[in-house]
Amino acid sequence: MNENELTYARPINWDELNDLQKDYSGRIMYLAGGDYHPKVREGVAILIDLQDLEFDQVVCMDDMTLFGGLVNLQQLGDALESADLQEAISIEAGINLRNSLSLTNYVKSSNGRSSMQLCLNALEASYRLAGEDNPETFSLDLKKKLSGSFIEEMQIQNPVSLAFAAVGRSPKDQPVVAVAASKRSDSRIHVACGGLEGMWAEFDIFYGDDDGETTIRNLYRGAEDAWAGAEYRQEAAAVLLSRCLQKLWKETNTKEEA
Amino acid sequence: MKLYLLINDKTYETDCAAGESLLSVLRRLGLLSVKSGGCVRGECGACTVLMDGKPVNACMFLAFQAQGHNLETVEHFGEHPQQGWKQTEGYDPIQKAFIESGSVQCGYCTPAMILAAKALLRQNPEPSEAEVREALSGVLCRCTAYVKPVQAVLKAAEEIRRSEHETAEIGANISEFEPDMVEVDSIPETVTIGKSEVKVDAAKLTLGKPAFTADLQLPGTLTAKVLRSPHAHARIVSIDASKARALPGVAAVLTWEDLPRVVYSTAGQSDPIPGPLDMFSLDNKVRFVGDRVAFVAADTAEIAEKALGLIDVTYELLPVIVDPRDAMKPGAIRIHDEAEYVNFADSDPSQNLAAKIRIDIGDVEKGFAEADRIFEQEYVVPKVQQVHIEPHVTLTYWDEDDRLVIRTSTQVPFHVRRQMAPVLGLPVKRIRVIKPRIGGGFGNKQEVLIEDVAAHLTIATGRPVLYEMTREEEFIASRARHPMRIRMKTGVKLDGTMTANQMTALSDTGAYGCHALTVTGNTGQKSMGLYVGDGEYRKHPNIRFYADIVYTNTPPSGAYRGYGVPQGYWPLDRHFEFIARELGIDPIVFRLKNALRPGEYQPFSTAWNEGREPVPEVIQTVGLEQAVAEGKRAIGWDEKFGNEAWHSVAGKPHLRRGIGIATVMQGTAIPNLDMGGASLKINDDGSFNLLVGATDLGTGSDTALGQIAAETLGVELEDIIVTSSDTDTTPFDVGAYASSTTYISGTAVLKAAKEVAQRIRERAAQIFEARGEVVPAEKVELKDRHAVAPSGSQISMAEIALDSLHWRNQEQIMATASYVSPKCPPPFAAQFATVLVDIETGQVKVEELVMAVDSGVIINPVAASGQIEGGIAQALGYGVSEEMIYDAEGQPRERDLVDYHIFRADEMPEIRSIFVETYEETGPYGAKAVAEIPLDGAAPAIGNAVLDACGANVLDNPLTPERVWHALKLKHEGYTNGKA
């Protein structure tokens, strides 16, 4: 790539964006806010900076909160007012990085040790990518698509009822075991767990069913890498899940009493 | 493309490639306070700027993304209060608080921290400590443990609230930041010594002045990159750099075929280097993942990186040794088979043996035979990284006299010059090494690591070359602390008397043998040397230290603050804790019963001196008992230890509290080897230039040396202009290592200052006589910038200067002195920890760390306590979170500061330091060393606290949740010694 041939554009409305997309089809790199290490890919002819298209907005509604793909991690934490989510984001990054990194670039780079992503998965956040009509929940396919696209909107249902617990080597270390659980409007508890880079496990616990211990132990069977052994992870994950569930039940009871 | 940036209320217009980062453009525009930590995941925060008032990382945006936003850097705030005839507003209150509080150590992250604080205080003028910690959470600091920066921000907030316009003189508040001090010995009255003076280099660093190596921007400078091996062990069969050389913008590509084959050691040590010569600038063999394959110099970093990808290398893969236990097995692949290898002492490359140590003191077998019980156990300590926030960086260029200038971030400028000369094919006299400001080193810059890369490329191209390592390169290709597997065997009487103590270490030097012998020698010498036994055993201790230091196909180990001693104290102190508990003796009583006392020989001094002739040394000052007493008081030992109510947490049965101690000893310089020089001369106004070869890497040594000169000359510290570490202009000094600077270089300064003071007295006596007052020179007192006669009449220092330089019998009052010590008086300390252990997950939360230390007389309490706090933070990481792991192919687990986690401001435990001051007769104004000892005891104290909390006896460091969990399982299965 000849650096001199690369151009930069900052569209101020959808029409301009559409025109650029047509003119540079297949040779576009989107600048969707701050990124870990912005680096121009081979073959890119234009950098389209999305910052003037209002993707950095948070819209709070009764039943859901909408986040543009350029919302940064700090905005996200502030908007959802969940202490556990804020703790997960804090583990993820110090304040500078939270102010810098956008939702789009975070999701694109996240892995199974990403605390905030586990929380978003527990909350069953759905993402609508540029040019697509239907929102989708997190998947490896979504991450793949983000390498050439961006999040227009992420939706999270209200009210947010989230519990997060993790084990790391220090209070703000990336976890080797992490569990996030969210109470859903249909009374399910949705659980996301991780602590290994490639682990994206989610399951539901229904009222009246078991406490999820067997399920989570099964999920961590063989979950061994350079960071921790499977036996340890199975034990610790069961403990963390139990704590998350207790927290959610306590929260529910407190609300009901109120 | 044209780029317009609004920075510090000024619009900058510049040509910019669309893909250029904001960090790169800001530095190109001369905003050099914005630093690069070499990271790629925004981890370090050294490049912090304010964007629309919020702290962000400049490395995470392209420059064009910042167009239209309001950017601020630290250059926007404050200026030196005295600018000649120009009126200035002086320092910003935050800068002032950082200066006064001793928050500035290396200063590399200081501008970033100040910006983060600025953003906070604009929004929240009355923050809590937690809010300050949160605000600083995006900037990693390896020097301060964030203790003083947090205090500084709180103080600045207070000052701003009080009055925005009322600025007290710099230094007015400094006493508020002083640590607790307890005098053990009678200490003579002094004026500047013992006073917390503002550091001589603090102001410029809070202002973001271009003080560091990469801040010098020379026209035509090329950027260097290094092609690194993807394999842990391989022979280079062929290497084709033709495509890389043909790439436009590439000025040079060098492979092993292009360079003379000169064997050397990268260990920055005195001549002869006490280790094997086993390294080449480039070789036809690679010995670890990250080893050098080729050098490239190009117009830009992007072109250089692209060129790396165009170099075709064919490797013949060789068997890999990762586990040091495999290195000496029969039939193991030989890692060093080069003909040029130069042995030192017992090194034997045919056995992958870089060094071997066998030290016997007394009769160890007899001691074991006399013991009532013998305890044996094996412990493991990990490889860990220094993590200075400024990466290794070197700028080389030919000066107008065709001498090669090496401007480099080094702790050892004079060793760089001597050791690089043969490698580059230049005589020493044609090399000038300049050490500018260093952004932290912690031993990793006691390595002559990258100077040859830039220098070879300057020789090849004739142009200036800048080589700055990335964070990934720091992890895979710099140096680290030697990992060791250590077996302890200790004989004791039932009353707790130690009868014999034996340590056997297997130390992993990695692919090259730099510091192999000397680091591991320290492991035994300075840990085992603390304990001699009691009664008759005090006179005739029985101690054995054996070590094999072996090569493996992992990145080389080297010097890291503490220099082998932290490796010794993990097994020794954990072992002693276990023995005391097994014997039913109070762990503190057991330690002190067997510890060295004043008037006794440091036992190792009779048998070992880093491969040189031993120098038996009687230790005169030992403040260990007082340190233990003060530390116990500070942490509330008596209320906590053995108190079950304190150990449990109400309503949380899965949490247990614990308290632990470790007692430690370090060294102060290397006797009869470390030498420092100093030159001192008077100026017209009665100020002085102090030239020292000593290397201040953020420790405050320039300030301490200035204080020694000021005290001796009876002037203020601000009258001493300190210039350090330029091989052309300053006297020789071995450099900053072995905790030697205050003691060795400080004594050289003291000697030079005494000589100058004597000459000033003589001239003053002449002036008094000319005025009709006969005063013997020895009766003239130097104080308050004057020479004072017993009658009270006085002559100003400026008048003496003018008299000597201009008026009569003109002379330059000056002196040069040097010092080498026959002694090595050790500092002592007691380190304490309290922890909270989750007994279900094994997670350890360290709540408090207290260190009481005997470092002799403290020259500058605020600066010295900063050394203690920062060292404790590094030791905290060693205890719980830091380690470097390699898979069977030698591939590293850690390549960045996300995976290699160092503590942030918002997760630090409470840290407290206390000085118990002894008076060491051999040190300048009674001083001993302070810099390394905080690294020694925190990890074992934490380990002991975990044992105290829940009975988990973790033998391998660090205390990861999984290790604690496993130890708890073993305990529940009935194994108390940590092993099944």
Contacts of B366 (CB under 8 A, 6+ apart): B500, B542
- Contact: A4, B40; criterion CB under 8 Å: no
B62–A contact, CB cutoff 8 A: yes
Q: What is the pLDDT of residue B948?
A: 98
**Same-domain check for residues B145 and B160:** yes
Q: What pLDDT, on the 0 to 100 scale, is given for residue A44?
A: 96
Tokens found for residue B957: 């460091």
Cα–Cα distances (Å) from B810 to B460, B681, B801, B805, B813, in that order, read 49, 14, 10, 5, 9
CB within 8 Å of B901: residues ≥ 6 apart:
A168, A169, A170, A172, A173, A174, B877, B881, B882
Instruction: Spell out which residues of chain B touch residue A51, defining contact as CB-CB under 8 Å.
Output: 65
The last residue of one of the domains, among B820, B852, B869, is B820
A183 lies in the same domain as A205:
yes
Is the CB of residue B440 less than 8 Å from the CB of residue B433? no
Residue % of chain A over a pLDDT of 70 = 98
Same-domain check for residues B647 and B747? no
- Crossing angle (nearest 10°) for helices B701-713 and B746-770: 30
Q: Model-level pTM greater than 0.95?
A: yes
**What is the rounded CA–CA span in Å between residue B843 and residue B147?**
24
pLDDT tier, A81 (very low <50, low <70, confident <90, very high otherwise) = confident
Query: What number of other Cβ atoms are within 10 A of residue B286's Cβ?
Result: 25
> Is B888 at the interface with chain A, CB within 8 A?
no
- A4-13, B400-409, B446-455, B955-964: which has the minimum mean pLDDT? A4-13
Domain containing A218: what range? 162-257
- Position B701 scores a pLDDT of 95
Q: Which of A238-247, B611-620, B963-972 has the lowest mean pLDDT?
A: B611-620
Interface test with B, best of A8, A40, A72, A96 (most B CBs within 10 A): A96
Contacts B21 to A, Cβ<8 Å: 38
The SS3 of residue A83 is helix
Decide if B576 contacts B593 (C-beta within 8 A).
Answer: no
pLDDT of A3 reads: 46
* pLDDT tops 70 at residue A2: no
**Domain finish residue from B72, B102, B131:** B72
Nearest to B511 by CA among B837, B662, B288, B776: B288
What are B551-567's pLDDT values in tens digits?
999 999 999 999 999 99
Could you tell me the residue range of the domain that residue B628 belongs to?
A: 620-665+825-980
Residue range B469-509, pLDDT digits in tens: 999 999 999 999 999 999 999 999 999 999 999 999 999 99
- The answer to whether residue A221 scores a pLDDT higher than 70 is yes
Q: What is the pLDDT of residues B767-791, one digit of tens each?
A: 999 999 999 999 999 999 999 999 9
Q: Within this chain, do residues A80 and A32 fall inside the same structural domain, yes or no?
A: no
**Listed residues B784, B805, B820: the one ending a domain:** B820
Say whether both B831 and B937 belong to one domain.
yes
With 60 as the cut, is the pLDDT of residue A75 above it?
A: yes
Q: Are residues B805 and B892 in the same domain?
A: no
Asked if residue B333 belongs to a domain, the reply is: no
Query: Is there a single domain that holds both residue A139 and residue A202?
Result: no
The mean predicted confidence, pLDDT, of chain B is 96
Domain boundary residue among A100, A130, A157? A157
Q: What is the pLDDT of residues B272-291, one digit of tens each?
A: 999 999 999 999 999 999 99
Could you tell me where the beta strands, DSSP code E, fall in B8-106? 10-15, 48-51, 54-57, 70-72
- B615 falls in which pLDDT band (50, 70, 90)? confident
| Closest to B567 measured CA to CA, from B185, B940, B78, B250 | B940
| Element containing residue A232 per DSSP (H, E) | helix A230-257
DSSP character string of B201-218:
THHHHHTT-S-BGGG---
Which pLDDT does position B633 carry in this prediction? 98
Residues from chain A that touch B966, judged by Cβ atoms under 8 A, are 232
Distance CA B977, CA B375 (A): 10
Determine, yes or no, domain membership for B108.
Answer: yes
The CATH number given to whatever domain includes residue B29 is 3.10.20.30
| SS3 category, B906 | helix
Do B898 and B804 sit in the same domain of this protein? no
Q: How far apart are CA B499 and CA B538, in angstroms?
A: 10
If you search the block for the tokens 């060789």, which residue do you land on?
A: B318
- What does the pLDDT read at residue B556? 98
For residues A172 and A250, state if they share a domain: yes
Label residue B168 by pLDDT band (50, 70, 90). low
The domain that contains A151 carries what CATH number? 3.30.465.10
- pLDDT on residue B22: 97
CA dist., res. B699 & res. B936, Å (int): 18
Q: Examine the pLDDT at B329 and tell me if it is beyond 90.
A: yes
CATH number at residue A207: 3.30.390.50
Q: Which residue of A has its CA nearest to B38?
A: A37
Do B204 and B219 lie in one domain? The reply is: no
B886 and B918 share one domain: yes
Q: Are residues A167 and A122 in the same domain?
A: no
Size of interface A-B (CB pairs under 8 A): 156
Query: In the predicted model, is pLDDT for residue B934 greater than 80?
Result: yes
Task: Check whether A1 has a pLDDT greater than 70.
Answer: no
Could you tell me if residue B14 is inside a domain? Answer: yes
The answer to whether B947 faces chain A, any CB pair under 8 Å, is no
Res. B735: pLDDT tops 80: yes
Across the range B845-859, mean pLDDT stands at 98
| CB contact B65 to A (< 8 Å) | yes
Residues B790 and B737 in one domain: yes
Residue contact A95–B55, C-beta within 8 A: yes
Q: How many domains does chain A have?
A: 3
Residue with tokens 């014997």: B583
Do residues B434 and B291 both lie within one domain? yes
Looking at the structure, do residues B144 and B127 belong to the same domain, yes or no? yes
- Looking at the domain assignment, is residue B602 inside a domain? no
Asked whether residue A135 falls in the same domain as residue A206, the answer is no
Share of chain B above pLDDT 90, in %: 95
- Indicate whether B199 and B101 sit together in one domain: yes
Boundary residue ending a domain (A29, A49, A69)? A49
Instruction: Tell me, yes or no, if B55 comes closer than 8 A to chain A by beta carbon.
Output: yes
> How many domains does chain B divide into?
5
Interchain contact B138–A (C-beta under 8 A): yes
User: Closest by alpha carbon to B293, among B278, B277, B312?
Assistant: B312
**Which residue of B305, B655, B843 is the best one to mutate when testing the A interface, meaning the one whose CB has the most A CBs within 10 A?**
B843
Confidence (pLDDT) at A252: 83
Inform me whether the C-beta atom of residue B906 falls under 8 Å from chain A C-beta atoms.
yes
Asked if ipTM goes beyond 0.95, one says yes
3-state secondary structure B470-486: CHHHHHHHCCCECCEEE
Same domain, A45 and A63: no
Asked if B782 and B875 sit in the same domain, the reply is no
Decide if B65 and A95 are in contact by the 8 Å CB cutoff.
no
Average pLDDT over residues B366-383: 98
Q: Please check whether residue B316 is in contact with residue B237, taking contact to mean a CB–CB distance below 8 angstroms.
A: yes
Q: Which CATH number is B861's domain given?
A: 3.30.365.10
CA neighbours closer than 13 Å in the CB half-sphere of residue B806: 8
Task: State how far the Cα of B5 lies from the Cα of B7, in Å rounded to an integer.
Answer: 6
CA–CA distance, B973 with B966 (Å, rounded to integer)? 11
- B878 contact A CB<8A: no
Binary contact (B138, A236; C-beta < 8 A) = no
In angstroms, the separation between the Cα of residue A91 and the nearest Cα of chain B is 10
Which amino acid, one-letter code, is at A92? Answer: E
User: At CA B554, angle to CA B552 and CA B557, rounded to 5?
Assistant: 90
Q: Is A170 close to B41, i.e. CB distance below 8 A?
A: no
Domain co-membership, A148 together with A66 = yes
B670 SS3 class? coil
Largest CA distance in chain A: 66
DSSP characters for B678-701?
A: EEEEE-TTS-EEEEE----SSSSH
Give the CATH number of the domain where residue B171 resides: 1.10.150.120
Percent of chain B residues past pLDDT 70, beyond the cut? 99
